[in-house]
Amino acid sequence: MKINTYLPIFNGFYGSILEDLEDHEEASKLFVEAVNKEVNQDIKCDIKFQSLVRPRFYNFTNDEIHVSILISKKEFNYLFNYCLEQREEFTKYLESRFTSCDGFASHYYNTLAGWERYKYEFNDYEESKQGVILATLLDFYLEYVFEYSEDNLMEYANQNGVLTQEIY
């Protein structure tokens, strides 16, 4: 299945040490390449760069890298099952990411039971919801399994000549 979503791990250029980069799009493509290589150590999928979305104003959102992810049903189920098996850690992750609070109304479950429901109803959802579910699973997997973070993305970009020593 092919799902359009955003790149996990990436938190945007604005407000980061990468804000002053000259070519954000080139860095974005390298970030996609880095995440694709990391994920494919365990989960066979193909993550492709689609676009860099930069908001007009940064008061509500930050930059997003839009990607398409081609993943088999078997690999998707492996990823989903793995996350659900990490009950305590995944529950904490969901609560921190999807709990409503002042100024934020979540449209996603923040409980393990809710995410178990997502697994069985996944094909019934519109593509945007499927994208958030898949990106969330990959984000948790990268952070929990590989201890992968945005710092790893910057290191990869530095090794490929996108970042200068002054920035990195």
- Tens of pLDDT along 52-92? 999 888 877 889 999 999 999 999 999 999 999 999 999 99
pTM here is 0.87
Residue 81: closest CA among 131, 43, 38: 43
- Per-residue model confidence (pLDDT) at position 65: 96
5 beta partners = 67
> How confident is residue 166, by pLDDT bands cut at 50, 70 and 90?
very low
Residues near 24 by Cβ (< 8 Å), separated by ≥ 6?
Answer: 13, 18, 52, 54, 63
pLDDT in tens, 119-162: 989 889 999 999 999 999 999 999 888 888 778 877 877 787 66
Between CA 36 and CA 138 the distance in angstroms is 11
Q: Please give the residue that has the higher pLDDT: either 119 or 166.
A: 119
Between CA 118 and CA 109 the distance in angstroms is 9
Helix (H, G, I), strand (E, B) or coil at 138: helix
